[in-house]
Amino acid sequence: MRSIFLPKSLPAAALVVVLSGFGAQNVTADQISTVSVAVASDDDAEMRFLEFADLISQSCAPDVSSSTDDVASASTDDTTAAEPTPDSTMPVLVDEVPLTTEEECAAERHAWRLSRAFSGTDTATYEEMQKKLTSLNYPAARIYRVPDFSGEPVARLDLRVGADHVALEVTGTHLGVMVRAFGAPEGVSVTEVRLEPQLDAPTS
């Protein structure tokens, strides 16, 4: 079982930064209380996410006999960043990386969870999608809006914990959502990952 440790000083540090905007001598007790609740709420959301993400990871953990294969398949080069174009204002995109067997399992379980929660729901706007995702314990800080060229809301979820690469792209439909898993390299925003085009399923 993998343990996850979080820095205990994070909420206090965040509180100091926020309070500095009020001015040291003008901070009231009510303002301190309000800011403290906001920081605690964000921290609690991340803790809840880490708890169920760890349960999913444990359920997908490989047995000893397959661990060697998984380690070998995980040895991918994350340095896939495209060369920047001189004077370009466009974001530099990187290629997605392969997911290990364990990561694919975790991604599938997250995707199934989302598909079930959104089933039968007409998600017309990004705001509706974000609200639903946060209600499912995906922190707002892990939800990113991306362009919706088809007119449907699209969000990407950063599900990476530690050295994992798991991320999801969620597209709203009138009957629920379509979910696509992909691997996000370490140190790169999920919005900067270039996904390989998916081939249409053959028609009979």
Same domain, 85 and 128: yes
Burial status of residue 113 (CB atoms within 10 A of its CB: 0-12, 13-18, 19 or more): middle
What is residue 32's predicted lDDT score, i.e. its pLDDT? 35
Q: pTM for this one?
A: 0.66
Q: Is residue 188, in this structure, part of any structural domain at all?
A: yes
Q: What pLDDT is attached to residue 184?
A: 96
Distances (CA, A) of 49 to 23, 34, 155, 183: 34, 23, 17, 19
Range of the domain at 55: 10-59
Q: Cα separation of 186 and 46, whole Å?
A: 19
Looking at residue 63, what is its pLDDT?
A: 67
pLDDT of residue 185: 95
Is 5 part of a structural domain of the chain? Answer: no
Residue 91: per-residue pLDDT: 58
What CA–CA distance (Å, rounded) separates 182 from 106? 11
pLDDT of residue 123: 87
User: 52 and 119: one domain?
Assistant: no
User: Does 103 share its domain with 20?
Assistant: no
Residue 1 lies in a domain: no
Residues 121 and 81 reside in one and the same domain: yes
Pairing of the two strands 193-194 and 94-95: parallel
Q: How many domains does the chain have?
A: 2
Give the chain's residues under pLDDT 70: 1-41, 63-91, 198-204
Q: Are 92 and 113 in the same domain? A: yes
Are 46 and 71 contained in the same domain?
A: no
Rounded to whole angstroms, how far apart are CA atoms 108 and 60?
A: 10
Output the pLDDT for position 41: 65
Looking at residue 63, what DSSP letter applies? -
Residues 178 and 146 in one domain: yes
